Structure 1
Amino acid sequence: MKKSALLLTAALATLAAPAFADDNVLRLRMNGDINSVDPISTTNYTIRNASYLIYDVLFALDENFEVQPQMAESVDVSDDDLVYTITLRDGLTFHDGSPVTAEDAVASLQRWGKVDGLGKIMFSKMDSIEAADDKTLVITMAEPWAQVLPAIGKISSNIPVIMPKRLAEQDPGDPVTEPIGSGPYRLLVDEWVPGSIAPYEKFEGYVPREEPASMAAGGKVAGFDRVEIVNIPDTATAIDALLAGEIDWMEEVPADMLPLFEGQDGAVAEPALQSGNSLQLVVNHLNPPFDNPKIRHALQLALEQEPFMQAMNGDNADLYEICAAVFFCNTPFESDVNTDRVLTRDVAAAKALLEEAGYDGTPVHIMHVTDIAGQDAAYSVLKPMLEEAGFVVDEQIADWATVSTRRASKEPVADGGWNLFFTGWGYVDQINPMTNVYVAGACEDGWFGWACSEELQALREQFAATSDPEEQKKLATRMQEVTHDLVPYVPLGQVYPSQGLSTDLDGYIRSPVPFFWNVSRAEN
């Protein structure tokens, strides 16, 4: 038996035989394990994607990227744009049988507002948020702010999910472990085996909206009785499973494996909007050596994008783009300002900066992720580039679940901290200065890496206060200039990988975030 078959057998060993043959089961393979049920305590896309099965939200974006009510029945905005009165729709029930109330929504938004960048800004401009009665919550702003509904209607990390008040009152730094939401599926905790399988069943108490599904909005109709997220670390094994009809969807198909789908009837590989992102090397500003700005600039000079993109995509040049724009290329806020160090590798200049900065050979700790093929390839390029420029590298093999947990540590490397890791925020997050984590400059209250800039904080406040497109463009350009000097991350190219999808599925929603309602098994 070949190695991939052995791995597949191990990955699927926990599946009961009757369920495996059931057409009413949707099986998914995501980039990483489901090791958390709390999308507020992490921005990990894998946890975000799975959380949409469990939780619902007050508002959501439709396919035109317009905010629509979801758990909300209606919203009334006062003439002075200060008071938002939100009425919940009838029939909202949590998975434990308790009704969803306005108090649950208030507590959930407050928890989200403690960690999400846009949420923090919203709460800083808020006078109060309270439950007027069981079905009505009232948000009163201290000043008009047009981003209120877009903020609580955002569809990507951190998503402002609604959970019971008793859970939402838990500090967001302490992840919730009881998966109680009011979404179309509920997690079967007794069958959940982290590292192997996360099974969900249709929640009979969920009442979908009457409107047709439209991206994250509209009716969330559960088309399967059961959904299983299967952890298959080896990508080739996952593709074997998809082509054999043993799973229905996989999040990312590496470019060098696209030929495996040629001539296949059971599955296709297609461009994945949710994976269109920038390969980003995140930099920890708290730990040496990158607590020194000159050494961060040396890091920029040590790298170049093309080798990373070629390692990840091979000769498929149409799957990537060389791009150093903080707000992505081909978008309203695209800019080439202050990109010289990012786009031009200069090993001699990097070595000179290291010497000028007094670099003492402190090892650069990198966590080499092997269970996401694209990242595996990128890390293989990273280490020799860093060493050629004069950095000492300490590389450790890891999986994405481990990295997504360890990156939250602010401790020294020796005590569980880190220096660098790869990630990939999608364009739905990055094109907007209000949701792009790298321009927050929020110091130790910010996203991983904890880059600190009072000017970025001020620029973001100014951006939120204006609706003038020319002024917004000017502010965004300045944000990019400051960001590339601060170096919260190094952009290493814009990537357009593919997802794998079974051909016998109907209704799959093409979206920047993968959703698994509205999808069903096609009739033969």
Structure 2
Amino acid sequence: SGPFRFLADEWVPGSRAVYAKFDGYVPRNEAPDCTSGGKMVYVDRLEWHVIPDAATATAALQRGEVDWYHGPDLTLLPLLSQDPAINTEAYDDLGYMTILRFNHLQPPFDRLEMRRAIQMAVNQVDYLQAQVGMPDLYKECRSTFFCGTTMSTGAGSEVMAANFEKAKALLKSSYKGEKVAIPTATDLSWLHAASLVTEDLLKRMGVNVELQAMDLGTFYKRRTSMEPVDKGGWSIFHAGFSVTDILDPSTHLGLRANGKQTWPGWPTDPVIEQLRDEWMTADPQDQGAIVRKIEARAFETVPFVPLGQFQTPSARRRTVTGMLKAPLPLAWNIKLG
């Protein structure tokens, strides 16, 4: 745990994890910078509490029972923003990218025309408004990487035309009436909101769709199933990537295309795999051209559909200072007072 010690005897799975300052840790004698630099610890004890109900977590922060609400429900963010004792500034300048992921093994999205039809119909603003609702926190991003980062080119993204009528016609030519199952984790409000938008989109396109609500643990288990829908499988799920997840082709799980050996969805595309291998061994000055080919190929074969990106506010009491800008919550450098 680096500058902290995990207190296993105080761990309550699904409820609480406790860490204590590790006095044997010697930090670098330099300023902290995200996950590098000097990791100074100014608190003796750190407790993470799992509070599934957003209203309960919000009330706990307002009452001062907790100091930091890591992932506040965005629908309740205006309430927190009005509290003078609470700071709701985003701790990450980039945030999350949400995606719509297809099951490439089972009908109907084993057919390329079906995936292309959904990609063509998607309007990112519909998703971003449902998930975030505040335009100053989100932006459209038609790229397989975070817009604003080195690898993002947007090559081939013109197919994301938000052309509903054309997409509906394309879908009609390839859809055979199969049931489409969308598992959704209701305890992640922003991902659940994306699922609701997709459900509405598919219904308007004439698809036989069923939204299947569940808790996050069940959701993670469900999406590993390769079975058909009628045997507990799935057709579409939604996921979120932080910038560290998809900085380049070497880490981007959504762009792996080695069939059943890859991340749930299991696309098979030897071209993308070959391009990834070429990128890994190429000189830095040549990698940009390869990434353009990778993005263009992804928009052609549709392993997933990007739904835009948004910043993630972090609600904490103003007594919490020193929080570092990072795409994940960091506990060093934080002070209370």
Structure-2-length-normalised TM-score: 0.90
Cα drift, residue 191 of structure 1:
4.1
- Are residues 1:356 and 2:173 paired? yes
- Are residues 1:381 and 2:197 paired? yes
Alignment of 1:163-178 (within 5 A): none
Per-residue displacement from partner, 1:115-160 (whole Å, max 9, x unpaired)?
xxxxxxxxxxxxxxxxxxxxxxxxxxxxxxxxxxxxxxxxxxxxxx
Partner of 2:47 in structure 1? 228
Q: Is the 8 A contact 2:93 2:311 kept in 1?
A: no
Change (3 A) 1:271 1:367: same
Match of 1:481 among 272, 285, 296: 296
How far apart, CA to CA, are the structure 2 residues paired with 1:192 and 1:258? 29
Per-residue displacement from partner, 1:378-404 (whole Å, max 9, x unpaired)?
222221111111211111112233223
Q: Is the 8 A contact 1:274 1:514 kept in 2?
A: no
Q: Is the 8 A contact 2:109 2:235 kept in 1?
A: yes
Change (3 A) 1:207 1:336: closer
Cα drift, residue 303 of structure 1:
2.2
How far apart, CA to CA, are the structure 1 residues paired with 2:180 and 2:50? 30
Q: Is the 8 A contact 1:186 1:203 kept in 2?
A: no
How far apart, CA to CA, are the structure 1 residues paired with 2:170 and 2:295? 22
How far apart, CA to CA, are the structure 2 residues paired with 1:521 and 1:387? 50
AA paired with 1:463? W
How far apart, CA to CA, are the structure 1 residues paired with 2:269 and 2:24? 44
Match of 2:71 among 225, 233, 252: 252
Q: Is the 8 A contact 1:365 1:420 kept in 2?
A: yes
Name the SS of the counterpart of 2:171 in structure 1. Answer: helix
How far apart, CA to CA, are the structure 1 residues paired with 2:312 and 2:161? 22
Match of 1:454 among 266, 270, 273: 270
Alignment of 1:234-383 (within 5 A): 234-273=53-92, 276-314=95-133, 316-346=134-164, 348-357=165-174, 359-383=175-199
Cα drift, residue 268 of structure 1:
0.9
Alignment of 1:191-206 (within 5 A): 191-195=10-14, 197-202=15-20, 204=22, 206=24
Change (3 A) 1:318 1:343: farther
- Are residues 1:391 and 2:199 paired? no
Larger relative contact order (CA 8 Å, sep ≥ 6): 2
Q: Is the 8 A contact 1:254 1:313 kept in 2?
A: no
Name the SS of the counterpart of 1:253 in structure 2. Answer: coil
Deviates more, 1:219-228 or 1:270-279: 219-228
Q: Is the 8 A contact 1:245 1:266 kept in 2?
A: no
Partner of 2:6 in structure 1? 186
How far apart, CA to CA, are the structure 2 residues paired with 1:402 and 1:350? 32
Per-residue displacement from partner, 1:187-213 (whole Å, max 9, x unpaired)?
43x543334x22323265742333344
Match of 1:506 among 306, 309, 321: 321
Partner of 1:406 in structure 2? 222
Per-residue displacement from partner, 1:28-74 (whole Å, max 9, x unpaired)?
xxxxxxxxxxxxxxxxxxxxxxxxxx4x5xxxxxxxxxxxxxxxxxx
Structure-1-length-normalised TM-score: 0.59
Unaligned residue ranges in structure 2 (runs of 5+): none
Per-residue displacement from partner, 1:395-430 (whole Å, max 9, x unpaired)?
111223322333233333344432211111112332
Q: Is the 8 A contact 1:280 1:422 kept in 2?
A: yes
Q: Is the 8 A contact 1:361 1:391 kept in 2?
A: yes
AA paired with 2:262? G
Q: Is the 8 A contact 2:191 2:240 kept in 1?
A: no
AA paired with 1:349? K
Please give the root-mean-square deviation of Cα atoms over the aligned residues, in Å: 2.4
How far apart, CA to CA, are the structure 2 residues paired with 1:302 and 1:296? 10
Cα drift, residue 345 of structure 1:
2.8
Change (3 A) 1:276 1:206: same
How far apart, CA to CA, are the structure 1 residues paired with 2:10 and 2:106? 40
Q: Is the 8 A contact 1:235 1:372 kept in 2?
A: no
Unaligned residue ranges in structure 1 (runs of 5+): 1-53, 57-182
Cα drift, residue 248 of structure 1:
1.8
Cα drift, residue 327 of structure 1:
1.9
How far apart, CA to CA, are the structure 2 residues paired with 1:330 and 1:478? 18
Name the SS of the counterpart of 1:271 in structure 2. Answer: coil
How far apart, CA to CA, are the structure 1 residues paired with 2:196 and 2:264? 23
How far apart, CA to CA, are the structure 2 residues paired with 1:310 and 1:204? 43
Partner of 2:257 in structure 1? 441
How far apart, CA to CA, are the structure 2 residues paired with 1:350 and 1:263? 42
How far apart, CA to CA, are the structure 1 residues paired with 2:88 and 2:52? 19
AA paired with 2:125? E
Q: Is the 8 A contact 2:124 2:307 kept in 1?
A: yes
Identity of aligned residues (%): 32
Change (3 A) 1:447 1:400: same
Q: Is the 8 A contact 1:506 1:519 kept in 2?
A: yes
How far apart, CA to CA, are the structure 1 residues paired with 2:332 and 2:57? 22
AA paired with 1:344? A
Cα drift, residue 476 of structure 1:
0.7
Name the SS of the counterpart of 1:483 in structure 2. Answer: helix
Name the SS of the counterpart of 2:130 in structure 1. Answer: helix
Change (3 A) 1:494 1:262: closer
How far apart, CA to CA, are the structure 1 residues paired with 2:73 and 2:203? 26
How far apart, CA to CA, are the structure 2 residues paired with 1:412 and 1:319? 38
